[in-house]
C-alpha cells in the first residue's frame, strides 16, 4: 500500500470543476489498487487575491512543499485584469515554479483514435496515432535573462539575453533521457546551433551525457526544421527536449496538431519525483459553473502524476484506458461534441470515466 500527500490548488473559472473530477478518479484508483491519497486544498490565483489579498499566499507554498505532488486547476480571468502586474493571478504560476524548483515541463501531444477527425493534418500523416512528449526547460533562457533598454546604432533599442549554464542544460536533459526510457527511447534535442552559442552548449552537454543512456537514440534538429516537421511528419518524434522559448512555441504547435487542446495534460518537475500537474487549457470563465467544461485534461494530468511522480504505471494506464474507452463510446463534452454523439456535462464525463476504472 502506498501513501501519498497531494496538494490541490483548484484555482479559478473551471479549475474547481475539472479538478474535482480528477480527485474523484484518484480516489477510485486508491480504492482499486489499495493506495491512500490524502488531499490538502490551498488557494492560488484570482481566488487567492479575493480571499487573501495576494495571488500566492505563503500558506499555499507551505502546503505544496509538505506534499508529494501538486495538482493545479487553472488560474486567471478578466475579473482580475486590473490587478497590479506583480499580483496578477498568472504570477502565481511563476511563483510556484520558482519556489518549488520546477525547471522541467512535460507536455504530451497525443491523438486518440476516436478524435482523429479533429486533427487538422491529413489523415495519412497521423494514421496509426500520434504520441509526442515535449520536455521544455522552464526557469532559464531568454525569459529569465538580463533585459533592458539602451541607446543603439538606430536610437533606443531593447534587449533580452539568452543564457544557459551546463548545470541547467544537464538537469533538463537528464529528465528527457529518463522519460524516454519509459517510452520509445528516442530523444530529439531541438535548437539553433547553427546560430546560437547557447544551442552549441546544449549539444556539447548532450554529447557528454548520451553515454549514460546507451539505449536512447539521440538526435538533433534546428528549431525551424522541427516546426516544419511537426506538421509534415510528426510521427518521427518521441521525446523532444528544448529550451524555454523554443519549447513554449513548439508545445503549443504540437497541442494544436491533436485538434483537442481540452484533452491535454502537463507536468512540471524539479529534482527528484516531485511534480506539479495541470491541464494546459485556461480557466474558461465564460463556462465556469455551468457543468460544460471538459475534465479529461485534468484527469489525464492525474494519470501523469501517478506515472512520473509516484511510479505507478499500471494505475496510470488504468486512467488512460478509461478515457480511451469513454471516447470510443462517443461520449463527449460540448468542446469535442458532434452530431450523433452523447453529450455529457463535466460531472457526467467524470462519472463515465469512473465506471471504466
CATH number of 1-102+263-357: 3.40.718.10
CATH number of 120-258: 3.40.718.10
288 CB burial (10 A radius; 0-12, 13-18, 19+)? middle
Confidence label for 112 from pLDDT (cuts 50, 70 and 90): confident
Query: From the CB of residue 28, how many other CB atoms can be counted at a distance below 10 Å?
Result: 19
Active-site option among 164, 248, 292, 307: 248
Contacts of residue 339, Cβ cutoff 8 Å, sequence gap at least 6: none
d(CA 105, CA 252): 13
Asked whether the beta carbons of 48 and 14 are under 8 A apart, the reply is no
Query: From the CB of residue 151, how many other CB atoms can be counted at a distance below 10 Å?
Result: 8
Confidence label for 2 from pLDDT (cuts 50, 70 and 90): confident
Query: Catalytic residue at 248?
Result: yes
Query: Could you give the angle at which helices 346-355 and 313-328 cross, rounded to 10 degrees?
Result: 120
Contacts of residue 8, Cβ cutoff 8 Å, sequence gap at least 6: 19, 23, 39, 40, 41, 42, 70, 71
Asked whether the beta carbons of 210 and 188 are under 8 A apart, the reply is no
Domain boundaries, given as residue ranges, for the chain: 1-102+263-357, 120-258
- For the chain, the average pLDDT equals 94
256 CB burial (10 A radius; 0-12, 13-18, 19+)? middle
Query: Residue 287: its pLDDT value, please?
Result: 95
Per-position DSSP letters for 311-338, written without gaps between them:
--HHHHHHHHHHHHHHHHTTEE-GGG--
Active-site option among 5, 222, 252, 324: 252
Active-site option among 192, 277, 292, 307: 192
Query: Catalytic residue at 117?
Result: no
Active-site option among 224, 286, 330, 355: 224
Confidence label for 116 from pLDDT (cuts 50, 70 and 90): confident
Q: How far is CA 143 from the centre of its chain?
A: 18
| Cα–Cα distances in angstroms (integers) from residue 7 to residues 34, 68, 107, 230, 335, in the given order | 20, 8, 21, 35, 28
Query: Residue 129: its pLDDT value, please?
Result: 79
Query: Residue 111: its pLDDT value, please?
Result: 87
Query: Residue 25: its pLDDT value, please?
Result: 98
Residue 36, beta-bridge partner list? 3
- Residue 332: phi and psi, rounded to 5, are -145, 140
Of the candidates 299, 300, 199, which has an alpha carbon nearest to the alpha carbon of residue 242? 199
d(CA 299, CA 22): 4
Query: Catalytic residue at 131?
Result: no
Q: Which three cell numbers stand for residue 332?
A: 463527449
Confidence label for 167 from pLDDT (cuts 50, 70 and 90): very high
d(CA 340, CA 354): 23
Q: What is the mean predicted confidence (pLDDT) over 41-60?
A: 97
Query: Catalytic residue at 192?
Result: yes
Same fold, 1-102+263-357 and 120-258: yes
Confidence label for 62 from pLDDT (cuts 50, 70 and 90): very high
3-class secondary-structure state, position 30:
helix
Could you give the angle at the alpha carbon of 85 between the alpha carbons of 82 and 91, nearest 5°?
115
Top pLDDT among 270 and 41 is at: 41
What pLDDT digit, counting tens, does each position of 290-346 carry? 999 999 999 999 999 999 999 999 999 999 999 999 999 999 999 988 899 999 999
Asked whether the beta carbons of 288 and 308 are under 8 A apart, the reply is no
Q: What is the mean predicted confidence (pLDDT) over 101-126?
A: 88
Residue 34, beta-bridge partner list? none
Of the candidates 279, 357, 269, which has an alpha carbon nearest to the alpha carbon of residue 309? 269
Query: Catalytic residue at 224?
Result: yes
Q: Which three cell numbers stand for residue 220?
A: 538533433
Active-site option among 33, 143, 220, 337: 143
Amino acid at each position: 500500500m502506498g501513501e501519498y500527500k497531494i496538494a490541490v490548488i483548484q484555482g479559478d473559472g473551471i479549475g474547481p470543476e475539472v479538478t474535482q473530477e480528477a480527485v474523484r478518479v484518484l480516489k477510485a484508483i486508491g480504492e482499486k489498487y489499495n493506495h491512500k491519497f490524502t488531499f490538502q486544498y490551498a488557494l492560488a490565483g484570482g481566488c487567492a487575491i479575493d480571499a487573501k489579498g495576494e495571488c500566492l499566499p505563503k500558506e499555499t507554498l507551505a502546503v505544496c512543499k509538505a506534499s508529494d505532488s501538486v495538482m493545479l486547476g487553472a488560474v486567471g480571468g478578466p475579473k482580475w485584469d486590473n490587478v497590479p502586474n506583480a499580483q496578477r493571478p498568472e504570477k502565481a504560476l511563476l511563483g510556484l515554479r520558482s519556489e518549488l524548483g520546477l525547471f522541467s515541463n512535460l507536455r504530451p501531444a497525443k491523438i486518440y483514435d476516436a478524435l482523429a477527425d479533429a486533427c487538422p493534418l491529413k489523415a495519412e500523416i497521423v494514421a496509426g496515432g500520434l504520441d509526442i512528449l515535449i520536455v521544455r526547460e522552464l526557469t532559464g533562457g531568454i525569459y529569465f535573462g538580463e533585459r533592458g533598454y539602451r541607446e543603439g546604432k538606430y536610437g533606443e533599442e531593447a534587449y533580452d539575453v539568452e543564457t544557459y549554464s551546463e548545470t541547467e542544460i544537464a538537469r533538463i536533459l537528464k529528465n528527457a533521457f529518463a522519460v524516454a526510457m519509459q517510452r520509445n527511447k528516442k530523444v530529439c534535442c531541438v535548437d539553433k546551433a547553427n546560430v546560437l552559442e547557447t544551442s552549441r552548449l546544449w549539444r556539447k552537454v548532450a554529447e557528454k551525457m548520451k553515454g549514460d543512456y546507451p539505449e536512447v537514440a539521440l538526435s538533433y534538429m534546428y528549431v525551424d526544421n522541427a516546426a516544419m516537421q511537426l506538421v509534415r511528419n510528426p510521427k518521427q518524434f518521441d521525446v523532444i527536449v528544448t529550451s524555454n522559448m523554443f519549447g513554449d512555441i513548439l508545445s503549443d504547435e504540437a497541442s494544436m496538431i491533436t485538434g483537442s487542446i481540452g484533452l491535454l495534460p502537463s507536468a512540471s518537475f524539479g529534482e527528484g519525483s516531485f511534480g506539479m500537474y495541470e491541464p494546459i487549457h485556461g480557466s474558461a470563465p465564460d463556462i465556469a459553473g455551468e457543468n460544460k467544461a471538459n475534465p479529461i485534461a485534468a484527469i489525464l494530468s492525474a494519470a501523469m502524476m501517478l506515472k512520473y511522480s509516484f511510479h505507478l504505471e499500471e494505475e496510470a494506464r488504468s486512467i488512460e484506458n478509461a478515457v480511451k474507452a469513454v471516447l470510443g463510446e462517443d461520449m463527449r463534452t460540448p468542446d469535442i461534441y458532434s452530431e450523433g454523439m452523447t453529450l455529457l456535462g463535466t460531472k457526467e464525463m467524470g462519472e463515465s470515466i469512473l465506471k471504466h476504472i
